[in-house]
């Protein structure tokens, strides 16, 4: 068993991960409605990853003998001005999630919860990757713009994400 403080914080993180999934699904819907199926595919893949992140925390709480407490998921934004804005918001959101993971790690250190610190090392590394990918796509969008063949090629490339 682990401390109630850590359990409550992980339950809150489960909610944030599920919100992240919901946000990316909303972004996928926007992209597909704007004839950007590759962007939509990338966001749906991100949706699946965020759901898996939530479930990893879920299983961890259960494995530690804790209680998972699910809360309502906030409604995500549904309107975006452009593909560039989509990835600006993606990068901002990933930086926010990184801060949440760091805060959770600090709590685990304070509570001397070594198993949670080990778990969170995976999330810390994952967030480095999440920010790197979002940043690279955003920088490419800024470089090529959103008109013409470059956007079509980028949409095609994002559609290849496994």
Q: What's the pTM value of the predicted model, to 2 decimals?
A: 0.94
- 142-158 pLDDT per residue, tens: 988 877 788 888 888 89
The whole-angstrom separation of Cα 152 and Cα 154 is: 5
Q: What are the tokens at 142?
A: 């800024």
Res 36: pLDDT? 95
Res 150: pLDDT? 81
Res 41: pLDDT? 96
The whole-angstrom separation of Cα 52 and Cα 8 is: 19
Res 153: pLDDT? 86
Res 58: pLDDT? 98
Res 147: pLDDT? 76
Q: What is the dihedral of CA 146, 30, 94, 122, to 10 degrees?
A: -120
Res 44: pLDDT? 98
Res 100: pLDDT? 98
What's 79's DSSP letter? -
- 124-146 pLDDT per residue, tens: 999 999 999 999 999 999 988 87
The whole-angstrom separation of Cα 84 and Cα 145 is: 8
Res 24: pLDDT? 98
Stretches where the chain sits below pLDDT 70 are 1
Res 155: pLDDT? 85
Write down the domain spans for the chain.
Answer: 4-158
The whole-angstrom separation of Cα 67 and Cα 11 is: 9
Say which CATH class 4-158 falls into.
mainly alpha
Q: Which helix (H) or strand (E) holds 62?
A: helix 37-63
């Amino acid at each position: 068993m682990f401390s109630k403080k850590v359990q409550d914080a992980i339950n809150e993180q489960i909610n944030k991960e599920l919100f992240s999934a919901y946000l990316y699904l909303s972004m996928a819907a926007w992209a597909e409605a704007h004839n950007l199926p590759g962007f939509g595919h990338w966001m749906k893949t991100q949706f699946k990853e965020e759901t898996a992140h939530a479930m990893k925390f879920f299983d961890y709480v259960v494995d530690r003998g804790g209680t998972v407490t699910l809360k309502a998921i906030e409604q995500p934004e549904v309107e975006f001005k452009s593909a560039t804005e989509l990835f600006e918001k993606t990068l901002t959101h990933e930086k926010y999630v990184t801060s949440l993971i760091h805060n959770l790690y600090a709590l685990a250190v304070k509570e001397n919860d070594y198993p949670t610190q080990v778990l969170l090392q995976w999330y810390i590394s994952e967030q480095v990757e999440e920010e790197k990918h979002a940043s690279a796509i955003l920088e490419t969008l800024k470089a090529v713009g959103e008109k013409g063949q470059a956007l079509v090629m980028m949409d095609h490339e994002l559609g290849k994400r496994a």
